[in-house]
Structure 1
Amino acid sequence: MRLLRSTDLALRVLMRLAATGDDPAAAPAPGDASARDVAATPTPTTRDVAAAMDVPYTHTAKVVAELQHMGLLEARRGRGGGLALTQRGRTASVGAIVRAFEGDGDVVDCEGTVPCPLRSACRLRGALRRAQEAFFASLDPITLADLVADPTGPLLLGISRPARLHRPDAAEPGSASSTP
């Protein structure tokens, strides 16, 4: 079985966010002194995640919108914005995520523009459907935490292309506009 690109990208986005380990439930209250430390490390944006994984921003934005609709991540706009996993996202079954992105269609299209002449007595369609469900079922007990447990999570963050945060008030190192 081959996964759709959107399914692969959704899993990679979720793994990337799970590997960063930022837990919004553990964030300090706004008046807390340690809130300044949290503000100093911004949550990744869709653009940051797309750049770090070297995938097109537009594809990533569509997948992020679907993941947000599913309640698996939160996307906040604006200055303090970014992406964060929800509690539901942290505990979601990989099988459920794959099912949601892949849909419940058949592996083969027996009813296409030229219907299969065997469709009324075919055993292949049922066998492929059972194999597809067995594939999904094997992913059901796996969570994102399982996927990013050591050594995978740190390795995932280490091999990603570094995200470049573009801030209008900060000059790029080595650029002509930077002053010593």
Structure 2
Amino acid sequence: MRLLRSTDLALRVLMRLAVVTGSSPTTRQVAEGMDVPYTHTAKVVAELQHLGLVDARRGRGGGLSLTEQGRTASVGRLVRSFEGDGDVVDCEGATPCPLNPGCRLRGALRQAQEAFFAALDPLTVQDIIVGPTGPLLLEISRRA
């Protein structure tokens, strides 16, 4: 299974914000620090704000900060939010699979997908920034 770029970016934004010390970075600073397009980062930040995981303030003294909910958010829940709950394969798309009525693969793939999410459910953003990740994120933050 491969994560969408937006899911990967959302996780990295949350991790980056979880190690912030001092002033809150702007969306542009976060994007530059992670070497990703500002427009993609802005869309992801807007969704994270909508989910209640990030607080974004405009203007002087503004910036991004992680909410308490964002710090304790389940990584599995976050991945589900960004990935959606669709099947791994599209068996009923524009050209439905002829095996659909008797296929056992679709169920097995759905089970594997749920196992993937379940493995991420107990992890929180706070859990995934402990060493060596946290110090590395701090170093990246200082360079940006």
Fold agreement, TM-score > 0.5: yes
The offset of 1:113, in angstroms, is 1.2
SS at match of 2:56: strand
2:18 pairs with 1:18:
yes
In structure 1, give the amino acid aligned to 2:77: A
Identify the structure with bigger relative contact order (alpha carbons < 8 Å, sequence gap 6+): 2
More helix by share: 2
Unaligned runs of 5+ in 2: none
Partner of 1:86: 67
Q: 1:66 aligns with which of 47, 50, 62?
A: 47
The offset of 1:19, in angstroms, is 1.7
Partner of 1:149: 130
Task: Tell me if structure 1 keeps the 8 A contact 2:16–2:141.
Answer: no
SS at match of 2:127: helix
Q: 2:93 aligns with which of 112, 132, 150?
A: 112
Alignment of 1:1-180 (within 5 A): 1-20=1-20, 22=21, 41-159=22-140, 162-163=143-144
The offset of 1:160, in angstroms, is 5.3
SS at match of 2:102: coil
Partner of 1:166: none
SS at match of 1:144: coil
Unaligned runs of 5+ in 1: 23-40, 164-180
Q: Distance in 2 between matches of 1:74 and 1:149?
A: 22
Q: Distance in 1 between matches of 2:19 and 2:77?
A: 20
Number of corresponding residues: 144
In structure 2, give the amino acid aligned to 1:82: G
Q: Distance in 1 between matches of 2:19 and 2:50?
A: 21
The offset of 1:49, in angstroms, is 0.3
In structure 2, give the amino acid aligned to 1:157: L
Q: TM-score, normalised by structure 2?
A: 0.96
**Identity value in percent:** 76
The offset of 1:63, in angstroms, is 0.1
What is the CA RMSD across the aligned residues, in angstroms?
Answer: 1.2
Task: Tell me if structure 2 keeps the 8 A contact 1:46–1:60.
Answer: yes
Q: Distance in 2 between matches of 1:48 and 1:80?
A: 14
The offset of 1:45, in angstroms, is 0.5
SS at match of 2:19: helix
Which aligned runs of 4 or more in structure 1 are off by greater than 6 angstroms? none
The offset of 1:77, in angstroms, is 0.3
